[in-house]
Structure 1
Amino acid sequence: MRIKVDQRGSSKVAIVESDSIVIGDVQDALDLLASVQYNEGCEKILIPKSNVAEAFFDLSTRLAGEILQKFATYQTKLAIVGDFGGYGSKSLKDFIYESNQGKNAFFLPDEESALDALHRLP
């Protein structure tokens, strides 16, 4: 896993680059969060959808809720980037829509829109 930092003014976003799953469970998310905060000094993380376990997108596993709660608790913003159109679940579509209306987690189609959303946040 590699971390690249995108900085605009005082806003810093850690961009995760990996060839494998980085967030497979809650502990993985906590490890990523702690590593990025400690090593990079970032409280905003952008990660490709391909680096997040598919179980995250199955709301019945409760994995998404548990992980996003950890990010909120540790005051870290998260953007997951990718194509979410292939999911047929109305619940997931509603979850993504509601998340995108808030200020803690975003599900966006490309890195540039995710960076814009994260950098707009305090």
Structure 2
Amino acid sequence: MSTLRTIHDVPVLICDPEGEAICGERDVLDLVGNAAYQGAQWVVIPAGRLDETFFRLRTRVAGEIIQKFVNYRVGVVVLGDISRHLASSSALRDFVRECNRGRQTWFLADAEELHERLKG
């Protein structure tokens, strides 16, 4: 389940924190399709909805998922605390830092940070 909201004039599809784990291409294609259908420019995925393999970069799950959003020109936000994953992987810390510098994929701690990012 997901909800379309407008934040600072930006349509954002927010995934429900409860639900099946998002763990692959099929799950992402459903999200991207739903976002496109509803006119969303961004999709917000609660960190807890992502399968554990997403946070282990060697599995390539994160790259595959993010690439789908890039291909369809829909921004993606991973929202929530991922500190335990960051603590155990310098590669993931570097990946998150690079993503947060861009305009396509963000890893944000909370809704307040999301509102700030979408402001400008």
TM-score, normalised on structure 1? 0.87
Aligned partner of 1:49 among 37, 47, 51: 47
Structure 2 Cα separation of the partners of residues 49 and 21 of structure 1:
12
Percent identity over paired residues: 34
Residue correspondences, number: 118
Structural mapping, 1:1-122, within 5 Å = 1=1, 3-8=2-7, 10-38=9-37, 40-87=38-85, 88-118=88-118, 120=120
Deviations 1:20-66 (A, max 9, x none): 2342111111111101211x211211111011111111101101111
SS of 1:45 mapped into structure 2: strand
Residue 72 (structure 1) shift: 0.7
SS of 1:42 mapped into structure 2: coil
Q: Show structure 2 runs of 5+ residues with no match.
A: none
Structure 2 Cα separation of the partners of residues 52 and 9 of structure 1:
26
TM-score, normalised on structure 2? 0.89
Aligned AA (1:66): E
Aligned AA (1:77): G
SS of 1:75 mapped into structure 2: coil
**What is the aligned-residue RMSD (CA, Å)?**
1.5
Q: Show structure 1 runs of 5+ residues with no match.
A: none
